């Protein structure tokens, strides 16, 4: 039986946004009942709002009866600065990295406690990874996430650690002191890395994209490789060249999440 809110004082806009928020990378489509349950709405209210979202183009209904993000909402999302500016400027450098390495190349920005993946290049030889464009993964579990966190203010790092470090594999760093030490090493080496901390069998290395030495990162560039052929250090020079060039391709005001 759907769970609904009996004391719902949310605006119509807020209820519609909660319906859209029920669609995630893990659940890209949903039935009306699933949308209503996730948004904590009565079925009748959900049905009315979904109808309006369909009419506007924010949702579309497949032949299987499930609802998905509509093309109009997708087109609107492409106007976001992170897609319109950062992604477009980064693609040539990412393509160069892929040609050199033939491995997964990622571009991510910080979204609160997560690394939000805004672009990814991969090939047949690349190791399978969990990350997808639009996916958010905890900062401490990925190379790009560590690069974004290491170059943050120390109080931000301690606040992040205080909120708890979840484990994704048996190698994920879950102790605050150990993570702080790892991030300090990343600052000293000017690159961050992981060893099977998000996915067993894969390692990663990443560097921040900074407009200048004093500015915070606008993004992070990373490469993910299979553990059995990992030689992360050899990837760092090419990553640094790409990140430095991308950083100089700004300005990036308003680009990052």
Question: What are the pLDDT digits (tens) for 199-216?
Answer: 999 999 999 998 877 778
Predicted confidence band at 6 (pLDDT cuts at 50, 70, 90)?
A: very low
Residue 214, token pair as written in the block: 């004093």
Q: Are 232 and 203 in contact (CB under 8 A)?
A: yes
Q: Are 197 and 129 in contact (CB under 8 A)?
A: no
What whole-number percentage of the chain has pLDDT above 90?
A: 66
d(CA 21, CA 23): 5
Question: What are the pLDDT digits (tens) for 56-99?
Answer: 999 999 999 999 999 888 878 777 766 557 888 899 999 999 99
The least confident of 37-51, 186-200, 222-236 is: 222-236
Q: Are 115 and 136 in contact (CB under 8 A)?
A: yes
pLDDT of the residue at 46: 93
The least confident of 84-88, 150-154, 202-206, 224-228 is: 84-88
Mean pLDDT of 143-159: 95
| 104-111 and 67-69 strand pairing | unpaired
Mean pLDDT of 218-241: 90
Beta-bridge mates of residue 208:
220
Residue located via tokens 């894969």: 202
pLDDT at 2 over 50: no
pLDDT of the residue at 25: 76
Could you tell me the maximum CA-CA distance found in the chain, to the nearest angstrom?
58
Long-range contacts of 244-250 (CB under 8 A, 24+ apart): 245/93, 246/89, 246/90, 246/93, 246/209, 246/219, 246/221, 247/209, 247/210, 247/211, 247/212, 247/218, 248/211, 249/89, 250/211, 250/218
Q: Nearest 5°: phi and psi at 14?
A: -65, -40
């Amino acid at each position: 039986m759907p769970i609904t809110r009996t004391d719902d004082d949310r605006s119509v806009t807020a209820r519609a946004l909660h319906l859209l928020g029920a669609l995630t990378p893990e659940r890209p489509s949903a039935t009306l009942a699933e949308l209503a349950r996730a948004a904590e709405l009565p079925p009748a209210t959900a049905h009315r709002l979904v109808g309006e979202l369909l009419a506007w183009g924010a949702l579309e209904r497949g032949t299987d009866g499930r609802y998905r993000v509509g093309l109009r909402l997708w087109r609107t999302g492409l106007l976001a600065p992170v897609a319109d500016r950062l992604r477009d400027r980064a693609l040539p450098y990412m393509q160069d990295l892929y040609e050199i390495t033939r491995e997964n190349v990622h571009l991510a920005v910080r979204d609160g406690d997560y690394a939000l993946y805004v672009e990814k290049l991969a090939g047949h030889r690349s190791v399978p990874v969990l990350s997808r464009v639009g996916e958010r993964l905890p900062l401490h579990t990925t190379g790009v996430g560590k690069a974004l966190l290491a170059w943050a203010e120390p109080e931000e790092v301690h606040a992040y650690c205080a909120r708890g470090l979840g484990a994704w594999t048996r190698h994920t760093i879950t102790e605050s002191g150990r993570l702080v030490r790892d991030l300090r090493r990343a600052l000293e080496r000017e690159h961050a890395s992981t060893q099977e901390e998000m996915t067993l069998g894969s390692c990663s290395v990443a560097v921040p994209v900074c407009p200048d030495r004093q500015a915070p990162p606008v993004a992070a560039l990373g490469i993910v490789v299979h553990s059995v052929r990992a030689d992360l250090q050899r990837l760092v020079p090419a990553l640094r060249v790409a990140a430095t060039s991308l950083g100089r391709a700004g300005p990036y005001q308003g680009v990052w999440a």
